[in-house]
Amino acid sequence: MAAVVAKPRSAFPLTHRITPRRGLLEMDFAELWHYRELVYFMVWRDVKVRYKQTVIGAAWAILQPFLTMVVFSLFFGRLAKMPSNGLPYPIFYYAALLPWTYFATALQTAANTLVDHQHVITKVFFPRLLLPLASVVAGLVDFSISFVFLLCMMAYYHIWPGPAILWLPVFLLLAIFTALTAGLWLSGLNALYRDVRYIMPFLVQFWLFASPVAYPSSVVPGRWRWLYGLNPMAGVIEGFRWSLTGHGDPPGKMVLVSAVVVLAALVGGLAYFQTIEGTVADFV
């Protein structure tokens, strides 16, 4: 057995002061950084475990938005004759479902993450913030798979992205932040009030119809469209369609409003998360 000479193994944390409660928004970034590997492991575990014991495995990542796309194309497209900015319905819907599916999945896993990890939370310390963070990052793996599929679909329809695609990372980042923000609020509330678990499906469904997934945001009168940006996913989804296909108008004002809303809510979410983080082990 390795009898190692006693010495502090890691430079961090050499001393730690444990006090009743931290101030609002007093993030310990050094500590978060120290635990970065844990985020990696959590993401890796989520990805490994997600499609275990399924027959088609990761194909589900494509099939979920694909089937929804088929349904939307049939009912909203063929039957209801929704305008689609001149895009074929499959591309019009899949380009929106790509960020939406990511968002909806990330949001739901993040909202349940504190409750799902209660056995770990009550036994070990680590920055609790890692949990919603890992849920949001883990969703990106599925996102990448179905993104590649979208590119194949676009090639099939002979639609090629223009220079607008350079904006795509910005919209993706906005989607990530939106999911994280909602995840921070909901996971904390869920730890306190299990009602959240039952509200979630309705919330996601309501949010889906409040976002321009099944319809283009051009059905909203131009004057009010910036207000529509109060729903950050509206800016994200329109942004995805625009930057991927070049069709439609750049959703400039809407995205700006979305970004401001998300940043404000994110700061609020971090502050809220911090107030419950220290004692969540007692009531989760």
Partner 1 sequence: MTDTAIQTYKLGKRYRGGEIRGRVYLRDSMREWFRAPGKNLRRRAAREEFWALRDVDLRVGHGEVLGVIGRNGAGKTTLLKILSRITRPTSGVAEILGRVGSLLEVGTGFHPELTGRENTYLSGAILGMSKKETSARFDEIVAFAEIERFIDMPVKHYSSGMYVRLAFAVAAHLEPDILLVDEVLAVGDMAFQRKCLGKMGDVSRTGRTVLFVSHNMGAISQLCRRCLLLQEGTVADDGPPDRVVGEYLKACAEGQGLDSKNWDRSGSGRARITSIEVLDSEDRRCAAISMSRELRLRIGGEAENAQLEFSLSVQFASATAVPVLYLYDQFRNFRPSDNKQFLIELRIPDLLLMPGLYYVHVWIGRAGMEDYDYVKNAVSFEVVQGDEIPITLPMTQKLGLVYRPHEAKQLL
Question: What is d(CA 62, CA 69) in angstroms, rounded to the nearest whole number?
Answer: 11
Question: What is d(CA 212, CA 234) in angstroms, rounded to the nearest whole number?
Answer: 6
Question: What is d(CA 238, CA 26) in angstroms, rounded to the nearest whole number?
Answer: 35
Residue 107 or 121: which CB sits closer to partner 1?
121
- Interactions with partner 1, residue window 232-271 (CB under 8 A): none
Residue 166 or 192: which CB sits closer to partner 1?
192
For residue 17, the minimal CB distance to partner 1 (Å) is 6
| Residues, the chain | 284
41, amino acid identity: F
The interface region with partner 1, picked from 36-44, 165-173, 219-227, 261-269 by CB under 8 A, is 36-44
- Interactions with partner 1, residue window 2-31 (CB under 8 A): 2-6, 8-10, 13-21
160 binds partner 1 (CB under 8 A): no
Cα distances from 34 to residues 9, 40, 89, in angstroms, run 14, 12, 46
C-beta separation of 229 from 239 below 8 A? no
Question: What is d(CA 266, CA 247) in angstroms, rounded to the nearest whole number?
Answer: 31
Which two three-digit tokens encode residue 87?
């895009």
Q: How many CA atoms lie within 13 A of 98 on its CB side?
A: 28
279 binds partner 1 (CB under 8 A): yes
Among residues 62, 82, 121, 179, which is the contact residue for partner 1, using CB under 8 A? 121
Among residues 54, 122, 144, 205, which is the contact residue for partner 1, using CB under 8 A? 122
55 binds partner 1 (CB under 8 A): no
202 binds partner 1 (CB under 8 A): no
82 binds partner 1 (CB under 8 A): no
* Residue that the structure tokens 């800016």 belong to: 235
Residues of this chain that interact with partner 1 (CB under 8 A) are 1-6, 8-10, 13-21, 35, 37-38, 40-41, 45, 48-49, 52-53, 119-126, 192-196, 278-279, 281-283
